[in-house]
C-alpha cells in the first residue's frame, strides 16, 4: 500500500502526462523530444581546432529560434556484469599463464572499484514544442461523441509532432556540423531514462541501445 501511495504522490508532482510515439507529452500539452549526444574531447584539440569548435557552436546557438536544454546525467556504474564476463573468459582460457593474469586483472578491477566510484556520464538535448493555442472542444464536438474527439486529438498531435520533428532535425544537423553525433530516444528508452533519473539508487542496467549506436 505504501508503494502505491508513494507512486501516486510522485506522479502527482511530475510534469509528464504520458510518453508515446517517441515523444514526452507534458500536462500543459507541451511536447518534448530527447536526443542522446556524444561529447567532444575539447582539451585534446589544438588551439585552432578549439577556436573552430567554439565558432561553430556559437553559430549553431545563434541559428536557433527556440529554446533547448542540455542535460548531463551521471550514474554509478555497475561493474559486476563486466567482472562476470571476465570470469567466463578465465574459465575458458587454456593457457595457464593467461588464466593467472586474468585472475590478477579481475582482482585489480575489484580493488579499484572498491576504492573509488566509477561513474558513467551521458549527455542529452531536450527539444521543446509548445502549442501556442490549445483549441477547446465546442459543445457540438462533445455532443458528436468521443470518436470524433479522439480523431481530432490524434490529428492535432501528429501536426504538433511534425513541428517538433523539424526542430529535432535542425538541432541534429547543427550539432553534427560541430562533430557531435545524436540519436533520438524512442518511447522505451525515454521511459527507461526517466526511471533512472527518478531512481538514482537503482542498479545500473546495460546502457541504452542508442549509446551503442552513437559509438559506431
Task: Give the three-state DSSP class for 9.
Answer: helix
Mean pLDDT of 22-32: 94
Mean pLDDT of 44-66: 95
Q: What is the pLDDT of residues 103-125, one digit of tens each?
A: 999 999 888 887 777 777 899 99
For 10-149, list the strands marked E by DSSP: 16-20, 23-26, 31-37, 69-76, 119-129
The pTM assigned to this predicted structure is 0.72
Question: Position of cell 521543446?
Answer: 128
Strand partners, 173: none
CA 127, CA 167: separation in Å to the nearest integer? 7
Q: How confident is the model at residue 5 (pLDDT cuts 50, 70, 90)?
A: very low
Do 37 and 182 form a contact (C-beta atoms < 8 A)?
Answer: yes
Our CA angle for 47, 53, 54, nearest 5°, is 90
CA 188, CA 199: separation in Å to the nearest integer? 16
Element (H, E) at 8: helix 2-13
- Comparing 43-57, 71-85, 133-147, the range with the smallest average pLDDT is 133-147
Amino acid at each position: 500500500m505504501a508503494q502505491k501511495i508513494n507512486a501516486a504522490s510522485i506522479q502527482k508532482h511530475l510534469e509528464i502526462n504520458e510518453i508515446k510515439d517517441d515523444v514526452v507529452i507534458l500536462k500543459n500539452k507541451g511536447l518534448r523530444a530527447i536526443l542522446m549526444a556524444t561529447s567532444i574531447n575539447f582539451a585534446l584539440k589544438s588551439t585552432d581546432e578549439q577556436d573552430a569548435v567554439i565558432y561553430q557552436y556559437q553559430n549553431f546557438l545563434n541559428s536557433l529560434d527556440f529554446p533547448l536544454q542540455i542535460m548531463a546525467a551521471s550514474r554509478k556504474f555497475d561493474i559486476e556484469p563486466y567482472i562476470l564476463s571476465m570470469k567466463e573468459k578465465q574459465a575458458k582460457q587454456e593457457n595457464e599463464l593467461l588464466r593467472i593474469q586474468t585472475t590478477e586483472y579481475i582482482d585489480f578491477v575489484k580493488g579499484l572499484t572498491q576504492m573509488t566510484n566509477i561513474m558513467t556520464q551521458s549527455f542529452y538535448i531536450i527539444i521543446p514544442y509548445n502549442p501556442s493555442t490549445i483549441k477547446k472542444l465546442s459543445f457540438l464536438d462533445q455532443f458528436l461523441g468521443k470518436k470524433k474527439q479522439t480523431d481530432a486529438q490524434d490529428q492535432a498531435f501528429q501536426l504538433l509532432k511534425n513541428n517538433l520533428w523539424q526542430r529535432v532535425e535542425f538541432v541534429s544537423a547543427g550539432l553534427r556540423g560541430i562533430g557531435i553525433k545524436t540519436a533520438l530516444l524512442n518511447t522505451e528508452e525515454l521511459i527507461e531514462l526517466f526511471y533512472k533519473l527518478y531512481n538514482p539508487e537503482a542498479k545500473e542496467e546495460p546502457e541504452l541501445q542508442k549509446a551503442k549506436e552513437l559509438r559506431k
